[in-house]
Amino acid sequence: MSSLSRSRSGRIELIGGLLLLAGIVGAGIGLALARSTPVEPGVVVDAAGLDFGGVWEQPAYRHSITLSNPTGTPIHVAEIKTGCGCTQVAPQSLTLGPGETKSLVATLDLTGRGGGSFAVDLLPLLAHQPPGDRTVWTLRGKVRKNPIELSQPSIDFGDEVIQGESLPTREVNVSLDEGYRFDDLEAHVVEGKGQAKLAQIDDGRWRLQVTPAEGLPLGQFRFTVRVAPTRLGSHVSPSRNLAITGTVRDDIAGWPETVNFGVLEIGEEGRDYVVLASRSGRAFEVKRIESPSAVRVRAMDTSTSGGSITYVVTETARNSGIQNATLLFHVAAPSSGSGGAEETVVPITVTYFGVRPQR
């Protein structure tokens, strides 16, 4: 190859290399510019609003956070995740119009977290969020240990409450940690219907008596009693809640509440017993019994002087699969109050699983 050819070839390679270098540099500058392009600002939260200060240990502390949209376009928050199961937020999703401000409420379970700092992350997920662009709001504060202690957190009366009879009472011991001194403690029903009485035993110890309310209807009941220091002014004080549950029963009830004949072949008869009884031992009268035609009910003894009567319940299987029926005993008994007759209906469920006979 001549020197002229080699010279031309060298110039071509040099020009090609310069063009390749320029392309690489240009691409790098373009990528850098793309990365440095600012993303439009999203939801703004006041940093001071993420600090709830110092609060007492409690099961449901509510803190409000103000959110604002400084942009010129709507922002839709599809979901707000929390970094702890002890925290719930409402609403879970929201839309902020241009320049709009809304409140987000976080409910924190601070039970057992007293005596130190607390922090939880809130992660808002935007509907159109750039990949890798994640915002985290950290809600923090200090939790003071609750000095009020209950010997148990709840009371269940079961089925002890009988309609029209004297009401049962349960007791819970209340104590106050040393180092905390309040003028006195008080107890109030803050949810549902019930009665609460708090009496001091000695220094730092009280006895709380709780009783269901008079005249509760049949069925389940629930009420909540709050124990707290006697409040002075607007000073926030610690408190403890006691949850009370139970079921109001009629004096006259049937046992068992469900007669289960089990598995019966078609044509086979099931047989069992039902006892109607007065918990207080009162005499009563069964006025009538409503029963499906397939179910037969017969009294073994019509006398209720002992406050109970036993019935034989039989049914012949006619259909396959699960079969259910309901017996209704219409009962009248002397009233413990006015002297008149009280009428009530006692339901009993009858069930069996029918199968076809094997050939």
Q: Are residues 304 and 230 both part of a single domain?
A: no
| Count of beta carbons in the 10 Å neighbourhood of residue 65 | 18
Which pLDDT belongs to residue 193?
Answer: 96
Which pLDDT belongs to residue 273?
Answer: 96
- Residue 308 near residue 285 (C-beta atoms within 8 A): no
Q: Is 53 left (phi over 0), alpha (psi -120 to 50) or beta?
A: left
Segment 19-53, tens digit of pLDDT? 444 454 444 444 333 333 333 457 889 888 899 99
Q: Which of 224, 249, 274 is a domain's end point?
A: 249
Instruction: Name the strand (E) or helix (H) holding 100.
Output: none
Which pLDDT belongs to residue 303?
Answer: 62
| DSSP letter string, 125-156 | EETT--TT----EEEEEEEEPP-EEES-SEEE
- Mean of all residue pLDDT scores within the chain: 84
Q: Which of 90, 123, 144 is a domain's end point?
A: 144
Segment 259-309, tens digit of pLDDT? 999 999 999 999 999 999 988 788 888 999 999 888 999 998 766 566 889
Residue carrying structure tokens 């409402």: 90
Q: Are residues 257 and 245 both part of a single domain?
A: no
Closest C-alpha among 322, 302, 318, 319 to residue 310: 302
Domain span at 260: 252-355
Total structural domains within the chain: 4
Q: Are residues 319 and 240 both part of a single domain?
A: no
Both tokens assigned to 318: 């006619």
How much is the pTM?
0.63
- Residue 158 near residue 247 (C-beta atoms within 8 A): yes
DSSP E strands, 184-301: 185-191, 194-202, 205-212, 219-229, 240-249, 252-255, 258-265, 269-278, 285-290, 295-299
Segment 307-328, tens digit of pLDDT? 889 999 999 999 999 999 999 9
Give the separation between CA 154 and CA 298, rounded to whole angstroms: 43
Which pLDDT belongs to residue 316?
Answer: 95
Q: Are residues 180 and 219 both part of a single domain?
A: yes
Give the single-character DSSP code of 234: T
* Of residues 347 and 32, more confidently modeled: 347
User: In which band, very low, low, confident or very high, does the pLDDT at 341 lie, cut at 50, 70 and 90?
Assistant: low
CATH code assigned at 309 = 2.60.40.10
Mean pLDDT for 227-244 is 79
CA distances from residue 151 to 129, 175, 197, 205, 208 in whole angstroms, order as listed: 50, 8, 16, 11, 10
- Residue 284 near residue 278 (C-beta atoms within 8 A): yes
* Of residues 178 and 73, more confidently modeled: 73
CATH code assigned at 181 = 2.60.40.60
Give the separation between CA 342 and CA 91, rounded to whole angstroms: 49
Q: Which of 123, 144, 165 is a domain's end point?
A: 144
Which pLDDT belongs to residue 307?
Answer: 80
Q: Are residues 164 and 189 both part of a single domain?
A: yes
Q: Are residues 130 and 61 both part of a single domain?
A: yes
